[in-house]
Chains A and B, each alone.
Chain A
Amino acid sequence: MRRGLIAAAVAVFASAAVVTAAVARPTQPAAAEQVAECTNVSLGDVGPLTGPAAFLGNEQLSWLKFAVSKYNKENGTKFKVAQGDTQLKAPVARTVARKFVADKSIMAIIGPSESQAVIAGAGLFEKAALAAVSESATRVDLTNGQFKTFFRIIPHDGIQVPTVVRFVAEKLKAKHVVVIDSQDDYSKAIAGPMTRGFRARGIDVDRESVAATDTDFSSIVANVANDVSVVVFATQVASGANTLSQQLREQGKKAVVFGTDGAYSPAEYKPKLGYVSAFAPDLHFDPKARAIIREYNAFSKNRTFGTFGPPAYMAGWVAMTAITKACADGKATRAEVTKFVRQTNIPSIIGDNIRFTAKGDVRGATFAVFKVTNGKYSVAS
């Protein structure tokens, strides 16, 4: 009887999965050449609005809405934002991508935020000639030419990895480190090259792996040797980096956590002592950004932000500028919008003018390293 009941439970889960899959079946993608009326245009935001990385998805969405509101006011346009929640899961991201491709009003994608979501959805966007401007996907091979309508306005991990390795080796003078990935395309693509980078500098490296949804790292911490001075955590879950840091202290380990760009969150990652890399400057440290911060604070209730929001603002601005140009004659195609995104050359709130390489990378961007002391962030390099 017990077996029967358990089998029934399994059957229920399986049925639920089948029903969900059936409901999520996509409609046919809109053709690339489809001409859209410019009076009803949306930007499709693809990011983790729920799930373990919701903190970054919501920050990005909030800044994107701010960009749309500001752009509409300044240019008399009526852009809207369509929200697509990936939940930090690649299959969900693919479903969102299909939905947005089929939605005729969507003329550009802002995101996907996560590298795994780009891998899941960028092929579909390319078939529909739909430009995807990511504000935070850093995996190197996303811009190796495989996705022809993909752009990003932040630097990639080919810049992040050497930056972190150099900092840990030269500034922190580590001899033994642990590198932890969180079992997704983003973190594995960082952890592998980083491990090789440390070894090339003669630093001992231990490798560990956790699930993105894990909230207890105490047994991983038990594996950390006493002579380890830095634990590099390639994660998109800032609160996880925080817990890891606290559990290291709990078990009397001297190692500090170095979070990769996904861990940058003054609200969730606030260790006693730690480090974090960032793909964009934190506007709080930029005196020139006071006006835009004031405007943002007046616009949004979600006032706590780090480095994820401002790039989303810029991604939105890039897309809206391109759509406005494509709509000069009152109608536009997605292919036209993509052409204008490729030709972008606009001032940025997070650095120099935004211009893309032929493969979709932003020109001249760098990573920064921040030190966190008792939860307070300061620029370390």
Chain B
Amino acid sequence: MDWDKLVQLLVNGLTLGSVYALVALGFSMVYGILKLLNLAHGDVLMVGAFIGWGILGWLGGAQDPSVAVWLLIGLMVLGAMVGCGFLGVAIERFAYRPLRRAPRIAPLISALGVSFFLQNSVLLLFGANFRSYETFDLVDVEVGIHWGPLNVWAIRIMVVVAAVAMMLGLWLLVTRTRLGKAMRATAFDREAAAMMGIDVDRVIVKTFFIGSALAGAAGVLVGLVFGQINHFMGFNYGLKGFTAAVVGGIGSIPGAMFGGLFIGLAEALSVGYIEDFTRGRLGSAFKDLVVFLILVLFMLLRPQGIFGRPEVKKV
């Protein structure tokens, strides 16, 4: 066993998984409350990545930032969260709320429309070329942990810590605050919650704001750690985030966190070992096969996911 490789793959998987977990949280929150698959969620991440890139350029760029690096990164994340939060609210207001009583297929189609709208808007505004955060100029690769087989760049540490902090923050918000209690009540039974005096519309708007803000933060983290962003990046992250949400148990916050990390690790480890396990028949190109095979297996064997509960219907 090559331990150096295993350690490095675990680090890569955790980084990737943290991003997937943030995306999965947005999917889960919206699904939990509206029973809606927000297929535009990945594109909100993409918009967040571009907001972060815009702030980076506005503050001097990676080579010559006009503020301290930690402040710059903080502003990028914050700006993307606020921007995407309001974008999420707008999406809910104009694309989903008018269809709340429509058949379920209608908001799904509307979500697809929003997804294409966001992609093409960014294409129009920023062009088709990939954009680079040039993070390696911002924080040198030598900065971080370099201990034996372990090489962890400071940005990767920051990404994992930021993602975990946001997940914990969300967990506390949902379990310890009045808003969280209202969100849980709305998710449990929207009509009953309304009868108890909860302003359901406001709860839904806040849910969209928080879920989209997390996606915005994830977009900046993706840009920081992988360096490049483009207008169609949201599809892949959306798909993986959705897979993570299903595996963890869609509607469950701990499930989304766990699912994200699980999918991230599965993807990284499959790149590292699929060739060995299949005796050279399959290569690293088949990493997505592993990820979506996991999704199919869960759909067949445990459709409620790891943390989800089977739905009970009164008959």
Q: How far is the CB of B11 from chain A (nearest CB, A)?
A: 8
Docked pose: A16 CA to B109 CA in angstroms: 9
Q: Find chain A residues with CB under 8 A from B151 CB.
A: 250-252
Instruction: Say yes or no: B153 contacts A8, CB within 8 Å.
Output: no
Smallest beta-carbon distance B144→chain A, Å: 8
Q: Measured between alpha carbons, how far is A3 from B288 in the docked complex, in Å?
A: 21
Nearest CB of chain A from residue B296's CB, rounded to whole Å = 11
A266 sits at the interface (CB 8 A) = no
- Can you list 19 pairs linking A and B with CB atoms under 8 Å apart? A1-B311, A2-B303, A5-B35, A6-B37, A12-B108, A16-B112, A54-B130, A55-B129, A208-B283, A215-B226, A215-B227, A218-B15, A218-B268, A220-B271, A222-B272, A223-B271, A223-B272, A237-B130, A250-B136
Whether, in the assembled complex, A27 has its beta carbon less than 8 Å from a beta carbon of chain B, the answer is no
B299 lies within 8 A of A6 (CB): yes
Say which one of B187-195, B212-220, B229-237 lies at the interface with A: B229-237
Residue of B nearest to A7 (CB): B299
Chain A contacts for B16, CB-based, 8 A: 216
| Smallest CB gap from A271: residue in B | B136
- Pick the interface stretch among A38-46, A112-120, A238-246, A349-357: A238-246
Alpha-carbon separation in the docked complex, A306 to B48 (Å) = 30
A51 within 8 A of B: yes
Q: How far is the CA of A211 from the CA of B104 in the complex (A)?
A: 34
Determine whether A136 belongs to the interface, using a CB cutoff of 8 Å to chain B: no
Is A9's CB within 8 Å of the partner chain B?
yes
- A250 and B153 contacting across the interface, CB-CB below 8 Å: yes
B250→A219 contact, CB < 8 A: no
Q: Mark B56-100, 1 if CB is under 8 A from A, else 0.
A: 000000000000000000000000000000000000000000000
Q: Report chain B residues within 8 Å CB of A274.
A: none
CB-CB under 8 A from A250, the residues of chain B are 136, 141, 151, 153
Question: Is there an interface contact between A218 and B105, defined as CB atoms closer than 8 Å?
Answer: no
- Chain B nearest CB: distance from A4 CB in Å? 8
Give B263-279 as 1s and 0s: 1 = Cβ < 8 Å from A's Cβ atoms: 00001100110000000
A52 close to B (CB within 8 Å): yes
Interface size class of B (residues with CB under 8 A): 35 or more
Q: A191: shortest Cβ distance to chain B, in Å?
A: 11
Indicate if the CB atoms of A209 and B283 lie closer than 8 Å.
yes
Choice from A13, A183, A251 contacting B285 with Cβ under 8 Å:
A183
Output the least CB separation between A33 and chain B (Å).
37
**Structural contact, A243 and B227, CB atoms closer than 8 A:** yes
Q: Are B146 and A252 in contact (CB under 8 A)?
A: yes
B positions within 8 Å CB-CB of A: 5, 8-9, 12-13, 15-16, 35, 37, 39, 104-105, 108-109, 112, 123, 127-130, 132, 136, 141, 146, 151, 153, 222, 225-228, 230-233, 236, 246, 250, 267-268, 271-272, 283-285, 287-288, 299, 303-304, 311
Asked whether A54 and B104 contact (CB < 8 A) given A2-B311, A209-B285, the answer is no
| Cα-based distance from A202 to B107 in the complex (angstroms) | 60
Contacting residues, chain B, for A8 (C-beta < 8 A): 104-105, 108
Minimal beta-carbon separation of A239 from chain B (angstroms): 4
- Asked if A146 lies at the interface with its beta carbon under 8 angstroms from chain B, I say no
CB of A335 closer than 8 Å to a CB of B: no
Leading 4 A-B pairs by shortest Cβ distance? A54-B128, A219-B271, A209-B285, A50-B128
A216 CB contacts on chain B under 8 angstroms: 12, 16, 225-226
Q: Chain A contacts of B299 at CB under 8 A?
A: 3, 6
Q: How long is the Cα–Cα vector from A340 to B143 in the complex, in angstroms? A: 60
In which size bucket is the chain A interface? Answer: 35 or more
Task: Decide: B132 and A242 in contact? CB cutoff 8 A.
Answer: yes
Q: Which residues of A contact B246 (CB under 8 A)?
A: 6
Q: Among the listed A2, A11, A222, A239, which residue makes an inter-chain contact with B8, where contact means beta carbons less than 8 Å apart?
A: A222
The reply to whether A209 and B108 form a contact with Cβ atoms under 8 Å apart is no
Chain A's closest residue to B246 (CB) is A6
Q: Are A208 and B226 in contact (CB under 8 A)?
A: no
Q: Are A12 and B109 in contact (CB-based, < 8 A)?
A: yes
Q: State A242–B123 Cα separation when bound (angstroms).
A: 22
Contacts of A1 in B (CB 8 A): 35, 311
A173 contacts chain B at the CB level, 8 A cutoff:
no
What are the residues of chain B within 8 A of A210 when measuring CB–CB?
284-285
Distance between Cα atoms of A218 and B153 in the complex (Å)? 12
Q: Is A49 an interface residue (CB 8 A)?
A: yes
Is A207 an interface residue when CB atoms closer than 8 A count as contact?
Answer: yes
Instruction: Judge whether A49 and B228 touch: CB under 8 Å.
Output: no
**Which of B104, B129, B222, B311 has the most CB atoms of chain A within a 10 A radius of its CB?**
B129
- Does A297 touch B at the CB level, under 8 Å? no
**Contacts of A50-84 to chain B: CB distance below 8 A:** 50-52, 54-55, 57-58
Which residues in B have their C-beta under 8 angstroms from that of A50? 123, 128, 231
List A contacts of B39 (CB < 8 A).
9, 12
Inter-chain CA distance A222–B303, complex, in Å, is 33
Note all chain B residues with C-beta closer than 8 A to A373: none
Given A2-B311, A50-B128, A209-B285: A9 in contact with B228 (beta carbons within 8 A): no
Q: Which residue of A is nearest B140, CB measured?
A: A249
- A12-B105, A52-B230 known; 15 other A-B pairs, CB under 8 Å? A1-B35, A4-B104, A5-B35, A9-B37, A13-B112, A209-B283, A210-B284, A215-B222, A215-B227, A218-B268, A219-B9, A219-B271, A222-B268, A242-B228, A251-B151
Which of B128, B130, B267 makes the CB contact (< 8 A) with A219?
A: B267
Q: Which residue of B lies closest to A239 (CB)?
A: B130
Closest chain B residue to A13, Cβ basis: B112
Known A250-B151, A250-B153, A252-B151; judge A213-B130 contact (CB<8 A): no
Most interface-central of B12, B250, B303 (chain A CB within 10 A): B12
Closest Cβ of chain B: how far from A290's Cβ, in Å?
26
Q: Return chain A residues, CB-CB under 8 Å to B232.
A: 51, 213
B268 touches A219 (CB 8 A): yes
